[in-house]
Amino acid sequence: MNTTKTITSALISVFSKDGLEPIVKELHKQKVTIYSTGGTEKFIKDLGIPVIPVEDVTSYPSILGGRVKTLHPKVFGGILNRQHNESDVAELKDFDIPQIDLVVVDLYPFEKTVASGASHQDIIEKIDIGGISLIRAAAKNYADVICVSSVDDYSEFLELLKTKNGETTEADRKHFAAKAFNVSSHYDSAIFNYFNANHDIASLKISETKGQVLRYGENPHQKGFFFGDFDAMFTKLHGKELSYNNLLDVDAAVNLINEFKNEAPTFAILKHNNACGFAQRPSIHQAYVDALEGDPVSAFGGILISNTKIDKATAEEIHGLFCEVVIAPSFSKEALDILTGKKNRILLILKDAELSQTTVRTCLNGVLVQDRDTITDAIEHLSYTTNNKPSQNELEDLIFASKICKHTKSNTIVLVKDKQLCASGTGQTSRVDALNQAIHKAQSFNFDLNGAVMASDAFFPFPDCVEIAKNAGLTAVIQPGGSIKDQLSIDYCNDNGVAMVFTGTRHFKH
């Protein structure tokens, strides 16, 4: 059976007319009969190209304010008939149904309408019915019909149309059918997620139409992919392709720095998803210098991120460090001239884009889904549990430490002094181990912990941590509270002049 087909007729019904003109002109050049509806029909007529209104085929006008235009047996019969089936061909003749070889559709922009903040009724009206039905029908019958299902595929189809002079192979049609079902499944997922915004139905629909193959996964023997719209979040200015591990670190960096939006210049250095250096200062240059001071060893090969423009002085300091990625809202021209001096260093401009409000990870033979931890501890959230109250400087350091702690692997303890990360204990199986790790690390880099503060991601079941902290010179503690033995830690702090506040919010990160 000959699987090569020649396009002799086309049904075109699109929302976006961008890029459509050259396709229509090429179809006309190849003497293809064109059927169309509504605004698309007018668009084609205005080009001076003959077009047959679908109403002339169905003998029905567009009704219900345009809600029903193409939903008719004479349309879908022309698409779904099997050209090798004698019975189908005979029925087309009996009912005067034209054969359709090509369907071009671009759906109503449902997701864009939702994102625009439109009213519920406007959103409902952007649920495409006829278009999605045409796509499914044409893709199902790819043996005979080729389906172009999105404006994003116009250029690829036009090239095919020109190079093959209107002929398509089964492989061509199957390729476009796969694209069509990708469009239709994504569209339906978006509609379901809109209706299930409150998660009343325990069903997960994740659909990302943009993706890229990475060099490898977490390790060289693993395949890796990223699915998402990276360009919506960043402008990449320079450097090699981001790796799987780079992307994980960039994600951690963005989530952390977002806690310090619209604050004084703040700089973070991350390694393996945890901050190893962090400081807030009057200038971004000094913030970087003090962040690096926190752990210049771990900073090697790290991810750097700033909450404000990186200037020449800061770039000169950064240039002396081997780092994988530098992220900022902007770079001065002089800074770019310096930082692009290393060809593989990745430079990213962070755009003001929203992160997903849910987090997803694989678990056993399924996935775990949860709300993103969007609570940022603030002074007004605190309850003062000890007789000794923190000073204003200590309060500011406590909140500063708590924000870093929220984005550090559990179990964690974070030590801060004068809005500089002295050290953190990360990913430990006990909170005591995390604290001892942090103290040892801070002391190894010659930090004076007298007057420093401590943040914990979860409560203290025993007073051992506050005792160790006191003996190391720390004077204030921030923790969620909530242990049935909270009073033991409170009593120790009262007896030893340590200030402690509770946030009431645990920030585990596993």
- Give the residue numbers annotated as catalytic, written as ranges: 140, 272
Residue type, 343: K
Residue type, 419: K
Q: What are the DSSP calls for 330-350, one per residue?
A: -B-HHHHHHHTTSTT-EEEEE
For 189, how many CA atoms within 13 A lie in the half-sphere containing its CB?
13
Q: What is the DSSP letter of 197?
A: T
For 284, how many CA atoms within 13 A lie in the half-sphere containing its CB?
25
User: Alpha-carbon distance 3 to 143, whole Å?
Assistant: 7
Q: For residue 290, count other CB atoms closer than 10 A to its CB.
A: 19
Q: List the structure tokens of 197.
A: 């915004």
Residue-level length of the chain: 510
Q: For residue 505, count other CB atoms closer than 10 A to its CB.
A: 16
Q: For residue 62, count other CB atoms closer than 10 A to its CB.
A: 18
Q: Which residues contact 311 (CB under 8 A, 6 or more apart)?
A: 284, 285, 332, 334, 335
Question: What is the C-alpha R_g of the chain?
Answer: 31
The label of the residue with tokens 């770039």 reads: 315
Nearest to 131 by CA among 33, 232, 11, 17: 11
Residue 217: beta bridge partners? none
The label of the residue with tokens 């290393």 reads: 342
Nearest to 179 by CA among 187, 191, 168: 187
Q: Is 482 left (phi over 0), alpha (psi -120 to 50) or beta?
A: left
Contact (Cβ atoms closer than 8 angstroms) between residue 288 and residue 317: yes
Nearest to 308 by CA among 276, 331, 275, 333: 331
Phi and psi at 132, nearest 5°, equal: -65, -35
Q: What is the DSSP letter of 68?
A: B
User: Alpha-carbon distance 382 to 397, whole Å?
Assistant: 13
Contact (Cβ atoms closer than 8 angstroms) between residue 74 and residue 68: no
Q: List the structure tokens of 406.
A: 């929220």
Is the Cα torsion angle 138, 142, 144, 147 positive or negative in sign?
positive
Residue 425: beta bridge partners? 413
Nearest to 102 by CA among 11, 164, 5: 11
